[in-house]
C-alpha cells in the first residue's frame, strides 16, 4: 500500500483531478453564469473572461425584472421564504414527535415497538405520490389544501424516519446507568430526560435536525403536488421561474445559486455527521 511507483502516483493524481472536475464543474459554471449578462452568456465560444455583474441578483432580490421588452415581477424571494418556513417547521415538528419516540424505542422493548419503528422507516422508501395523490383530494375536504400546516405534516414523511432512526442510535449509545443514578437521587423521569439524556444525545440530535432540514429543503414533489404558487419552495419555484422568465438565463442561474447555497453551507458545517445521516444511522463516518 505504501510504496507507489511514480507512474501510479501520476495516474492517481490525474484520476482525482478528473473526478473533482466532473463533480464541481457544473456548480462552478452556474455560479459564473449568474454573474454574467445575457450577452456574455450567449457568446460563442464560451469564455471565462467577462466583467462580473450583480444585476441578476439585484433583479431577483428586488423582485423586479427589467428587460428591453417589458418589466415583470419575480416572486423568487417569496419562494426562498417558503423554503425556510417549510423546512424549519417540518424539522421542529419532527423533533417534537421523533425525539421522545426515539427515546422510547432505544430504552424500552415494548410490544409493537419494532413494528412502529419499521413502519416509519418504510415511509422513506414508499413512492411519495402514492400518499400525495389521495391527500390532494383529502386536503381539499378538510381544509388543509394549500396551507403551510398541511405541507409540514406531509414533510414528516422525509424528516421523521431520519430523526427517529438517527436519534435512536444516539440514545442507544448512552449508558442507561447514568440515567438510573440520577433517578435514584430522587429526580423525576422528566427532569432526568431533560438534564441527562437530551444533553448527552444533543450533538446527534442537532446533526439529525440539520440533515432533515437539508432533505426537506431539497424536496420537490410534495410541494409540486400540494402547494399553489404562493406556498411553493425554491425547488418548485425555480422551475416555474424558468417557464415564466423564458430567456433570462443569468437570472435563472442566480436563482439556482441562491437556492442551493444555504444547503451547501449547512452541509459543509454538518459534514462530520453526513455519512451517518445519509445511511439513516447504519454507517458511522
Partner 1 sequence: MADMTAARTPSRRFRVPPALFPYLLSMPALLVCIGILVPFFTAVFYSLQRYRLSQPWNRAMNWGENYLDFLTDPSFWNTLEVSLLYAALTVGIELALGLGIALLLQKRTRVNNFVSIMLLMPLMTAPALAALMFKLMTNPNFGILSYFAQAIGFGDMRWGADPSTALLTVVLVDVWVYTPFIMILLLAGLRSLPTQPFEAAALDNVPRLQQFWRITLPMLTPYLLTAALFRLLDSIQQFDIIYAMTQGGPGDTLMVFQVEAYLTFFQSTNVGRSAALLIILWAITFFLSNVFIKNWLRLRERARGEA
CA 88 to the chain's CA centroid: 10
Other beta carbons less than 10 A from residue 199's beta carbon: 10
Tell me how far, at minimum, the Cβ of 64 lies from partner 1, in Å: 22
What the block records as the C-alpha cell of 220 is: 420537490
Which of the residues 106 through 165 are near partner 1 (CB under 8 A)? 107-108, 110, 113, 116, 118-123, 125-135, 138, 153, 156-157, 160, 164
Tell me how far, at minimum, the Cβ of 47 lies from partner 1, in Å: 11
Q: At what angle do helices 148-173 and 271-278 cross, to 10 degrees?
A: 100
Judged by CB under 8 A, the residue of 5, 44, 71, 228 near partner 1 is: 44
Give the span between the Cα atoms of 102 and 242, in whole angstroms. 42
Tell me how far, at minimum, the Cβ of 49 lies from partner 1, in Å: 15
CB 224 within 8 A of CB 133: no
CA 136 to the chain's CA centroid: 23
Q: Which is nearer to partner 1, 18 or 71 (CB)?
A: 18
Tell me how far, at minimum, the Cβ of 218 lies from partner 1, in Å: 4
Judged by CB under 8 A, the residue of 35, 76, 171, 249 near partner 1 is: 249
Give the span between the Cα atoms of 159 and 271, in whole angstroms. 18
Judged by CB under 8 A, the residue of 1, 49, 69, 70 near partner 1 is: 1
Tell me: does residue 244 bind partner 1 (CB under 8 A). no
Amino acid at each position: 500500500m505504501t510504496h507507489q511507483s511514480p507512474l501510479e502516483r501520476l495516474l492517481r493524481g490525474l484520476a482525482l483531478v478528473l473526478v473533482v472536475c466532473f463533480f464541481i464543474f457544473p456548480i462552478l459554471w452556474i455560479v459564473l453564469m449568474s454573474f454574467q449578462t445575457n450577452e456574455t452568456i450567449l457568446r460563442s465560444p464560451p469564455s471565462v473572461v467577462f466583467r462580473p455583474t450583480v444585476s441578476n441578483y439585484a433583479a431577483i432580490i428586488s423582485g423586479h425584472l427589467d428587460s428591453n421588452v417589458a418589466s415583470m415581477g419575480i416572486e423568487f424571494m417569496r419562494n426562498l421564504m417558503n423554503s425556510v418556513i417549510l423546512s424549519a417547521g417540518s424539522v421542529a415538528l419532527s423533533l417534537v414527535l421523533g425525539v421522545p419516540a426515539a427515546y422510547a424505542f432505544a430504552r424500552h422493548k415494548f410490544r409493537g415497538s419494532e413494528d412502529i419503528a419499521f413502519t416509519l422507516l418504510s415511509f422513506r422508501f414508499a413512492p411519495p405520490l402514492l400518499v400525495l395523490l389521495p391527500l390532494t383530494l383529502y386536503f381539499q375536504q378538510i381544509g388543509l389544501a394549500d396551507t403551510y400546516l398541511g405541507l409540514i405534516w406531509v414533510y414528516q414523511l422525509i424528516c421523521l424516519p431520519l430523526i427517529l432512526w438517527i436519534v435512536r442510535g444516539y440514545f442507544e449509545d448512552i449508558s442507561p446507568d447514568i440515567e438510573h443514578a440520577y433517578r435514584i437521587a430522587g429526580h423525576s423521569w422528566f427532569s432526568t430526560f431533560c438534564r441527562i439524556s437530551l444533553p448527552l444525545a444533543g450533538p446527534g440530535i442537532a446533526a439529525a435536525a440539520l440533515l432533515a432540514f437539508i432533505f426537506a429543503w431539497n424536496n420537490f414533489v410534495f410541494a409540486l403536488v400540494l402547494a399553489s404558487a404562493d406556498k411553493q419552495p425554491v425547488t418548485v419555484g425555480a422551475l416555474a421561474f424558468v417557464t415564466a422568465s423564458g430567456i433570462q438565463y443569468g437570472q435563472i442561474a442566480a436563482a439556482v445559486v441562491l437556492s442551493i447555497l444555504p444547503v451547501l453551507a449547512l452541509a459543509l458545517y454538518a459534514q462530520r455527521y453526513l455519512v451517518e445521516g445519509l445511511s439513516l444511522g447504519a454507517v458511522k463516518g
